[in-house]
Each structure stands twice: as C-alpha cells, then as structure tokens.
C-alpha cells in the first residue's frame, strides 16, 4: 500500500512479528485523515499489528510490527533494555566537526517541536558514528544510536555542525528528501539471532553510484570497529 508516498514492503515474516520497509514521507500513525504506516500495514497484510518502535515521517527503512500483544510487550522490552542494535545511514554536508566518534548529552525541548542537545549527562542520548566521503561537499554517515530519543540522530548531526541533508527543521540543506534511513537491525528473539539490512531506494543521493560504492564497506555494520 503506497499512501501517495512509496511502497510498504515485507522484509521478513516471523510467527510473532513482521519486519517491514517504511518509505519516507509516510506518517507513522494516522493523522488528519491520512492513513499512517501502521494502519496501511494492517490493511496490506490483513491482520492486526502492534507498533514496537517508530520512525519519523521523513525517515525510511526497517521497522518491526508485532502480531500479538505478548510479542509486542517482549519486543518493546528489548528496545527499552537496548538489546536491539540499530544502524542508520545519513548524508550530511562535509562540514562535520569530526569524522567518527561518540556524541552524548541530554536532550531538551526547543521551539516549535524541535529539540536541542545539552552538555549535561543526566539521562543522555548516546550515538556512535563513523563517516566517509560521498561526493564533493558531502559525507555519508553510519549512525549507531545507543538510546532512542525523539529526533536523536537529527539533533546529534546538527550538534556536529553537519545537519542531515533535507532536514529543514534542523537547518539541513534543501533536498528531495530527508537523507536518513534505518539501514540495519540485529537482535535475538527466543534465543535465535537475527540480522537484517535494507538499502534506501528513494532519493537522488541514495541512488547514486557514489553512494553504492561508499556503502559497500558497511555491509555488516555490527562487525565494524566502532569508536
């Protein structure tokens, strides 16, 4: 089901959950009469589904939906306990303050629904990252959030002086989409290990040969030497 944006596709089906690809530009929940991702998925697959985690409207990529309340509770607990490894791809300007490292800090509400990163460490948002040259003026970043705060990755990139391309809310360059994609996921469920990844399919920079070459070395992000 497309909902005037892109196509929801099934990546993997388990007896207890589905792993799906969410296109960018699709609301997560139904808003103002426009069907959201969860409801579109329910209609597409013809079953009741429960959201376990979420992605911003402008972000594409992997997302889990539970098939029953028990698995929803179990999977949600795994996310809360940071037992699910998540990896994102982002394109930013080549103005990033450092090429790899870790960003940690509390997040506070700012103006008009935005957030800002603080220097305090009471309940910090934590993200590891690495980057490489993509094309003149731009870098490709691989982001590994250790926490799951609202707008965490977008705020982190702005704090590094290189907002994500297409992120108007956080001063990113104007573009055809927000260049943030939920790329890969790794977790164990009922003692079985799962590893998934899916490349973005929308956006000029994500479709370029430069992107395809740059992302090759990150085909198994869980095996990289993270800073």
d(CA 124, CA 120) in angstroms, rounded, equals 8
* 112 conformational bin, left if phi > 0, alpha if psi -120 to 50, beta if neither: left
d(CA 148, CA 164) in angstroms, rounded, equals 18
Contact (Cβ atoms closer than 8 angstroms) between residue 128 and residue 62 = no
Per-residue burial over 34-50, b = 16 or more CB atoms within 10 Å of its CB, e = otherwise = ebbbbbbbbebbeeebb
Instruction: Give the pairing of strands 180-189 and 60-66.
Output: parallel
- Alpha-carbon dihedral 4, 163, 227, 58, rounded to 10 degrees: -10
15, 56, 74, 167: the catalytic one is 56
Active-site residue flag, 56: yes
Structure tokens at 75: 């999977």
- Alpha-carbon dihedral 175, 177, 179, 181, rounded to 10 degrees: -170
Return the DSSP state at 128. E
- If residue 155 lies in a helix (H) or strand (E), which one and from where to where? helix 152-159
Active site residues: 56
């Amino acid at each position: 089901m497309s909902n005037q944006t892109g196509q929801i596709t099934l990546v993997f089906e388990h007896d207890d959950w589905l792993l799906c690809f969410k296109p960018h530009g699709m609301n997560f929940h139904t808003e103002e009469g426009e069907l959201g991702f969860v409801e579109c998925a329910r209609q597409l697959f013809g079953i009741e589904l429960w959201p376990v985690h979420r992605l911003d409207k402008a972000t594409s990529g992997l997302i889990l939906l539970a098939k029953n309340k028990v698995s929803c509770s179990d999977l949600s607990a795994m996310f809360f306990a940071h037992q699910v490894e998540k990896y994102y791809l982002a394109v930013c300007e080549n103005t990033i303050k450092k090429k790899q490292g870790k960003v940690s800090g509390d997040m506070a509400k700012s103006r008009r629904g935005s957030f800002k990163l603080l220097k305090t460490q009471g309940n910090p948002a934590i993200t590891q990252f690495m980057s490489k040259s993509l094309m003149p003026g731009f870098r490709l970043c691989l982001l590994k959030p250790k926490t799951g705060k609202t707008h965490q990755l977008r705020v982190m990139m702005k704090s590094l002086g290189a907002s994500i391309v297409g992120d108007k809310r956080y001063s990113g360059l104007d573009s055809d989409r927000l260049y943030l994609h939920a790329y890969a996921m790794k977790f164990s469920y009922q003692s079985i290990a799962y590893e998934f990844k899916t490349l973005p399919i929308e956006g000029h920079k994500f479709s370029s040969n430069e992107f395809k070459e740059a992302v090759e070395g990150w085909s198994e992000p869980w095996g990289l030497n993270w800073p």
